[in-house]
Copies of this chain bind each other. A is one copy, B any other.
Amino acid sequence: MVSPGSQLPPTPAVPKRYELLTLGDELLLGLTPNGHLTFIGAQLGRRGVLLERNVTITDEAEAIARQFRESWAKADVVITTGGLGPTCDDRTREVLAGVLGQKLVFDPAIEQAMLARFAAFGRKMTPNNLKQAYKFERGEVLPNAHGTAPGLWVEQDGKVLCMLPGPPNELQPMFIEQVLPRLAKLGLVLDREAYVQLRTAGVGESALETRLQPVFDRYGDALSVAFCAHQAQVDCRVSSPGGKLSTAQLEAIAAECAQLLGEDFMGYGHDSLAKICADLLRAQDKKLAVVETATGGLLANAFTEACGACKFFAGGVVCCSNDAKMQLLDVPECLLLQHGAVSAEAAVAMATGAAETLGADYALAVTGFAGASAAGGPGGNPVGTIFIALHAPQGVWSKKLNYPGPRATVKVRAVNAALDWLRRELVRAQAGAVTPARRSGLMQ
């Protein structure tokens, strides 16, 4: 039943060892989060590579040399970030050239690119920038479209060294546009996504596995399945070790799973809940308004991250006082006094008020006690109690949720629960169904 996939290159028999060296005192002092690990780890994972190790060390030359020597001896591919800039604590280039026994040579093409960049910004290039115009004598240059320091690429001893600049807006496009294609050409990563990913929402990891297992069982060990749980969202990744199943077969399996999951299936790939909602709103030419207390602006921000948000985002209101709810959204004072601001009644009134005031087709309201420092409500609801409401053309409903944990976690989970409810309603509207939103899997 399982035929060998012809479109897929076989996964390497002996997996290659990747190490990531992130350089900089600012990482070790906790001044900057290590976003390079998150980004590069995820990108490699999508191409079938599990990063073996990430080491963060200081800017000190001896520490860099010691660590690089050790990593270079063990790994097949070493990626470094940071320390390529113009200042005196940027030592990566010089130190690594020393360890590899290579000379650094001046590259006039890099100097030209830097001069053009400074000219475009109307600034004068200071002499210390010239340090960035040196490359390895037996190495290549990865041009930097978003900054002055280019990346550097060295193949030596049957291994690869890839040196990337520290700023994320320079590193990230360089990694996707230049590094991944070079690694794929050398067979060190797959030349396509290593798995087909289904994103799901509103269903736990073990329940998801139970529902999909009958599909997976039909393929035995030709199929590999991994689950990744996020807040209120679980990804399921199907792949084929050794390439026994073709991409088309994996996609067919994923489609069967999506069918089985119904509304719990969010989409293929890596789109966020907010992006999926935004696309559905745009496709249906509908507008959304939001009103939030406990999530403090994060629900609105999830939408304004999307491109061209003005087309579908009618506006948002962040309030915690009853005054603001009454003034901006015409929520009746008597309702707030009787039921409290953290109640199903208040949530419904807020959602309806937001939709009507802002002229939106859909509206989400989130009200609650988010974190340890919040006081409990008049209705005796404990901290972590959240009410969300959805106003849609078909009606308006509310749900009560309860999330334990710290404030930041509660906020993210409440935002995701609200987004997922909206997504389900939009999916139903697109399908032309008139099923009331209360049938949602999240409903209590």
B33, B56, B67: the one within 8 Å of A35 (CB): B33
Chain A stretch 42-59: residues in CB contact (< 8 A) with chain B: 42-43, 45, 50-58
Q: Is the CB of A319 within 8 A of B315?
A: yes
Q: Which residues of B contact A26 (CB under 8 A)?
A: 228
Interface flag for A386 (CB, 8 Å): no
Q: Which residues of B contact A407 (CB under 8 A)?
A: 305
A373 to chain B, nearest CB (A): 4
Interface string of A145-174 (1 = CB under 8 A from B): 000000000000000000000001100000
Chain A stretch 281-332: residues in CB contact (< 8 A) with chain B: 290, 296-301, 303-305, 307-310, 313-321, 323-324, 327-328
Interface flag for A359 (CB, 8 Å): yes
Q: Is the CB of A29 within 8 A of B42?
A: yes
Q: Is the CB of B304 within 8 A of A301?
A: no
Q: Which residues of B contact A55 (CB under 8 A)?
A: 53-56
Chain A stretch 3-43: residues in CB contact (< 8 A) with chain B: 25-35, 37-43
Given A298-B301, A304-B320, A318-B297: A31 in contact with B42 (beta carbons within 8 A)? yes
Interface flag for A358 (CB, 8 Å): yes
Copy number of this protein in the oligomer?
A: 2
A325 to chain B, nearest CB (A): 8
In the complex formed, the residue of B with least CB distance to A22 is: B54
In the complex formed, the residue of B with least CB distance to A45 is: B29
Given A308-B373, A316-B297, A327-B358: A52 in contact with B41 (beta carbons within 8 A)? no
Q: Is the CB of A58 within 8 A of B50?
A: yes
In the complex formed, the residue of B with least CB distance to A329 is: B328
A52 to chain B, nearest CB (A): 7
Interface flag for A246 (CB, 8 Å): no
B38, B304, B317: the one within 8 Å of A315 (CB): B317
Q: Please measure, in the bound complex, the distance between the C-alpha atom of A317 and the C-alpha atom of B43, giving whole angstroms.
A: 36
- Chain A: residues with Cβ within 8 Å of the partner, total of 69
B27, B42, B301, B328: the one within 8 Å of A358 (CB): B328
B45, B319, B323, B406: the one within 8 Å of A169 (CB): B406
Q: Is the CB of A50 within 8 A of B30?
A: no
Q: Is the CB of A41 within 8 A of B29?
A: yes
Given A42-B30, A297-B298, A297-B304: A315 in contact with B320 (beta carbons within 8 A)? yes
B25, B320, B409: the one within 8 Å of A309 (CB): B320
Q: Which residues of B contact A303 (CB under 8 A)?
A: 296
Q: Please measure, in the bound complex, the distance between the C-alpha atom of A53 and the C-alpha atom of B64, giving whole angstroms.
A: 11
Q: Which residues of B contact A168 (CB under 8 A)?
A: 406
Q: Which residues of B contact A43 (CB under 8 A)?
A: 30
Q: Please measure, in the bound complex, the distance between the C-alpha atom of A381 and the C-alpha atom of B39, giving whole angstroms.
A: 32
Q: Is the CB of A318 within 8 A of B318?
A: yes
Interface flag for A405 (CB, 8 Å): yes
In the complex formed, the residue of B with least CB distance to A306 is: B373
Q: Which residues of B contact A300 (CB under 8 A)?
A: 296-297, 300, 318
Q: Please measure, in the bound complex, the distance between the C-alpha atom of A373 and the C-alpha atom of B55, giving whole angstroms.
A: 34
Q: Please measure, in the bound complex, the distance between the C-alpha atom of A314 and the C-alpha atom of B320, giving whole angstroms.
A: 7
Q: Is the CB of A359 within 8 A of B301?
A: no
Interface flag for A259 (CB, 8 Å): no
Q: Please measure, in the bound complex, the distance between the C-alpha atom of A300 and the C-alpha atom of B300, giving whole angstroms.
A: 10
Q: Please measure, in the bound complex, the distance between the C-alpha atom of A407 and the C-alpha atom of B55, giving whole angstroms.
A: 29
Q: Please measure, in the bound complex, the distance between the C-alpha atom of A358 and the C-alpha atom of B230, giving whole angstroms.
A: 37
B41, B53, B328: the one within 8 Å of A57 (CB): B53
A183 to chain B, nearest CB (A): 16
A28-B52, A169-B409, A297-B316 provided; 4 other pairs, C-beta below 8 A?
Answer: A50-B58, A168-B406, A296-B303, A315-B318
Closest 10 CB pairs of A and B: A30-B42, A296-B304, A297-B297, A315-B324, A30-B41, A297-B300, A316-B318, A297-B301, A300-B318, A310-B320
Listed by A's residue number, 29 A-B pairs whose Cβ atoms lie within 8 Å are A27-B54, A28-B50, A29-B41, A29-B42, A30-B43, A31-B228, A31-B230, A32-B38, A33-B35, A33-B37, A34-B38, A52-B57, A53-B56, A54-B54, A54-B55, A54-B56, A55-B56, A296-B297, A297-B299, A297-B300, A300-B300, A305-B407, A307-B373, A309-B320, A315-B317, A315-B328, A316-B318, A316-B319, A327-B358
